[in-house]
Every structure is written in structure tokens, then in C-alpha cells.
């Protein structure tokens, strides 16, 4: 016991030293980086559902904590204050939902702002400063939507969007690097994310860009009268086939095991991949979304159902209409209106490695015998009784109508 306690104490001491070293190195950066005399905004762009980090690149040396501010429009009275005075907020990204409010999806670590699963509504100005309203650095964040994203399957001889050149600006796509092959040992797929950018000499000079006169399409540096044409161009994704060898690795990473309730031991199930398996029971005719553990939208993620490969060329959202089983652009697997035939084991690959399984069973509730005193039974009996009475009334009315007519037409004796 004493040895374990000593080891834990040494580990905590080492962590304190590393944290102090990190803070000291961060302080050296702030000493070398002077804040601009006139506040400008650095343009950055991301795809919806991505997680991004905004470092506070400069601040006075004596400032020990920062406050982040969010404004949809510059100089707007509607300002969201993102503060962390009660200690660093540790956010588990696996618990963050896309529909959550910005205040529930942010964390401040080492003066940097981290926003989890960014949404289009998170686009705007982010300012690093103090609680007294002194600003040090600013960002112009553009979160581009995936709802109408353009997809090009290069194996099917499809092509990415061509550049558009107008009188006042040029629209083009800036592509990120290809992801790793999402499977190993078998045919896999690669993705390449492309974001919309605009080049124009009429951009507002208060916004800093990586290249002169070039900024993302949703940037506040773009003149307002450009908006109608620019909004017609969407971000895009290119997909192509790939083949990569599997690394010589027997067991999944240690961090992957935390997502499962049951881990198969080696040799127990030789017909199943040796990965953590999570069990789930789903009610019928409900929707289910499965997330690959540890995966982010920019990662290479693939899904299988048993031995069947769910390739994006057939199962990416929007490929067919309607789609009951599909993969969204955030790498989640969707099942709409779960049916008995959907049961099985779904496996996910992350960065070319098979990491987890999801065994799905569909619940079917037995039919319950209704009692005559149930509200539903009473309603049905009442409705049937009323309908029967109406039908009988109409029947007698039809058969009695000739006699009634004869009575009224019978001549009276004078």
C-alpha cells in the first residue's frame, strides 16, 4: 500500500511540474507576441459538427485569466460571455449534443477557447479579453453547413465543383488533405473536405486572412451585396476508394475499451472481431443514431453490418431517397424506423482500425388483453353503440317514410 501511495504522490508531483512548465512556456509565447494596437479578426473556417480551438494569441503578462466574448454581428448589443472563473471546465466531447447551446459546448483551457460540435449558428466574432471589456485578440469564425453539401464520388467519374469567376469576386473550394484509408486489409474509402472561399479586392480590411484578398465565404469580411451569389455555393466532399495494409496490432487501444459494457476475451467468439462489443435494445419503429467512439467528423470512419461493408458510395446521406440506413457527414450511423431485420452487430472503423462493435436487438412488446373497463374499450363500445343506434334510426325512417307520406296525403272527409 505504501509503495502505491508513493507512486501516486510522485505522479501527481510530475503532473504539477508539467503543468507549471506548460504555463511557463505559454507565458514565453505571450512575452514574444505583442497585441495589435488596432483589434483585427483572424478568419478561420470549419465544417458543421467539427470541434475547433481558438488560442488567445496575445495578452498582457500580468493577466492570469481571460474571458471570451461571442458576437454574431460586430458591435452588437447581444453578446454572449464565455467565462471560466470557477476553474477549468472539463467537457467530455462524447456527451455533447449538436443541438446544445453554445454555453454547454465550450471549454477554456490554457487561455484557449474550445467549442465542441460547432453549428452554423456559432459563426460570428470571438474576442479574447478581460471581464472589464479589454480585448486582446479576435477571430472571425465561419462554420459552413453540411445540409446541402456537394459530394463527388471520384470512382464514379464525378468531379468537384468548378471555380466561379464574376465581375467582383471569384468563388473556389479549398480542400483539406485526404484522410487515411478508413479500413485496412479490405477495400476502404478516403474523404477530402472542401470549404468555400472567395477572392475579391473589396474585402473589409479589418479581417486578417491567410492570403491577401482571400477569405471564407461566410466571413464577415465579405460585402453584404455578395451574399446572394455566394450562398449558392456549398462546401463539398470528395470520396475515392483506397487499400491499406493492417498494422501488426493484436488488441484495441486502451482508451477504446471505456465505451463498452462487455469486452470479448480472446478465443471466446472466434467468429467475431476481437473488439469491445456494446449491447443495445431498441424499441421498434423508432430512430437510432450510433456514434463511433473517439471519432470526430474530420476522422476517417467506416461502418460494417456484420460482414457487409456500408460504403459511402451507397450509404452516404442523400445518395438515395428515401434512405432508412445512412451515414451522415459527422460519421454517425442512422437507422430510421428500426425494424426486426435491422438487428445484428454493427462495427465501426476509426482511422483505418476496427475499434468497436454495437450489437442491436429490437424489442417487441406482447399484445396486452384489453379489459372492458379500459378507457379505450369504453370509447370503442360507446362509438359502436352510437353508430348502431344511428343506423337503426335511418333504417326505420326509410321504411316508415311511405306510410307517413300516405297519412299526410289521405283526403279528409268533408
Question: Domains of the chain: which residue ranges?
Answer: 17-144, 150-243, 256-362
Name the one residue in this structure whose C-alpha cell is 363500445. Answer: 381
pLDDT value for 229: 75
pLDDT exceeds 60 at position 125: yes
Residue range 237-266: mean pLDDT, rounded: 64
Reference 357, options 292, 297, 312; nearest CA is 292
Range with the poorest average pLDDT among 19-33, 60-74, 111-125, 235-249: 19-33
- Dump pLDDT digits (tens) for 368-398: 555 666 666 777 788 888 888 888 888 777 8
- The whole-number average pLDDT for the span 10-30 is 43
Angle at 246 between CA 244 and CA 247, to 5 degrees: 125
Note the pLDDT of residue 284. 92
> Which one has a higher pLDDT value, 163 or 36?
163
Global confidence as pTM: 0.68
**17-144 classified as CATH 2.60.40.10:** yes
For residue 49, the model assigns a pLDDT of: 86
Average pLDDT value for the chain: 80
pLDDT: is 67 or 86 the higher one? 67
Pick 104 or 288 by higher pLDDT. 288
pLDDT of residue 384: 84
User: How many CA atoms, within 13 angstroms, populate the side-chain half-sphere of residue 302?
Assistant: 30
Is the bond preceding 322 in cis, omega lying within 30 degrees of 0? yes
User: Is there a shared CATH topology between the 17-144 domain and the 256-362 domain?
Assistant: yes
Taking only the tens place, the pLDDT of each residue in 132-174 is: 778 889 999 999 998 889 999 999 999 999 999 988 899 999 9
pLDDT at position 200 is 93
Question: What confidence tens digit (pLDDT) does each residue in 48-83 have?
Answer: 988 899 998 887 777 777 889 999 888 777 888 887
What span, in angstroms and rounded, lies between the C-alpha atoms of 349 and 181? 10
Percent of the chain with pLDDT over 70: 76
What is the CATH code for 256-362? 2.60.40.10
- How many distinct helices (H) and strands (E) make up the chain? 4, 24
Amino acid at each position: 500500500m505504501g509503495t502505491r501511495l508513493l507512486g501516486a504522490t510522485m505522479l501527481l508531483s510530475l503532473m504539477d511540474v508539467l503543468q507549471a512548465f506548460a504555463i511557463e512556456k505559454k507565458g514565453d509565447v505571450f512575452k514574444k507576441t505583442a497585441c495589435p494596437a488596432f483589434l483585427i479578426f483572424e478568419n478561420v473556417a470549419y465544417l458543421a459538427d467539427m470541434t475547433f480551438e481558438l488560442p488567445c494569441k496575445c495578452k498582457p503578462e500580468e493577466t492570469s485569466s481571460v474571458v471570451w466574448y461571442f458576437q454574431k454581428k460586430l458591435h452588437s448589443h447581444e453578446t454572449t460571455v464565455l467565462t471560466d472563473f470557477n476553474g477549468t471546465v472539463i467537457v467530455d466531447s462524447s456527451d455533447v449534443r449538436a443541438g446544445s447551446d453554445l454555453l454547454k459546448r465550450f471549454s477554456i483551457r490554457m487561455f484557449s477557447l474550445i467549442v465542441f460540435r460547432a453549428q452554423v449558428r456559432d459563426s460570428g466574432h470571438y474576442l479574447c479579453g478581460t471581464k472589464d471589456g479589454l480585448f486582446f485578440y479576435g477571430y472571425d469564425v465561419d462554420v459552413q453547413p453540411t445540409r446541402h453539401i456537394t459530394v463527388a464520388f471520384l470512382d464514379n467519374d464525378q468531379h468537384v465543383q468548378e471555380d466561379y469567376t464574376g465581375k467582383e469576386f471569384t468563388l473556389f473550394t479549398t480542400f483539406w488533405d485526404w484522410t487515411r484509408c478508413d479500413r485496412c486489409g479490405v477495400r476502404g474509402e478516403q474523404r477530402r473536405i472542401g470549404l468555400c472561399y472567395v477572392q475579391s479586392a473589396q474585402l473589409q480590411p479589418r479581417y486578417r486572412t491567410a492570403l491577401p484578398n482571400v477569405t471564407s465565404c461566410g466571413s464577415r469580411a465579405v460585402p453584404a451585396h455578395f451574399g446572394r451569389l455566394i450562398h449558392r455555393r456549398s462546401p463539398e466532399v470528395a470520396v475515392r476508394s483506397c487499400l491499406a495494409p493492417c498494422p501488426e496490432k493484436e488488441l484495441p487501444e486502451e482508451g477504446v475499451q471505456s465505451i463498452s459494457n462487455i469486452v470479448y476475451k480472446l478465443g471466446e467468439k472466434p467468429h467475431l472481431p476481437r473488439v469491445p462489443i456494446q449491447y443495445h435494445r431498441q424499441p421498434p419503429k423508432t430512430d437510432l443514431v450510433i456514434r463511433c467512439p473517439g471519432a470526430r467528423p474530420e476522422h476517417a470512419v467506416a461502418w460494417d453490418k456484420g460482414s457487409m461493408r456500408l460504403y459511402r458510395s451507397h450509404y452516404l446521406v442523400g445518395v438515395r431517397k428515401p434512405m432508412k440506413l445512412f451515414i451522415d457527414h459527422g460519421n454517425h450511423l442512422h437507422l430510421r424506423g428500426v425494424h426486426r431485420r435491422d438487428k445484428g452487430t454493427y462495427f465501426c472503423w476509426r482511422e483505418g482500425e476496427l475499434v468497436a462493435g454495437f450489437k442491436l436487438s429490437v424489442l417487441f412488446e406482447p399484445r396486452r388483453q384489453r379489459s372492458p373497463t379500459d378507457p379505450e374499450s369504453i370509447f370503442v363500445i360507446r362509438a359502436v353503440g352510437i353508430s348502431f343506434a344511428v343506423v337503426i334510426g335511418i333504417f326505420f325512417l326509410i321504411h316508415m317514410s311511405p306510410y307517413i307520406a300516405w297519412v299526410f296525403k289521405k283526403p279528409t272527409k268533408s
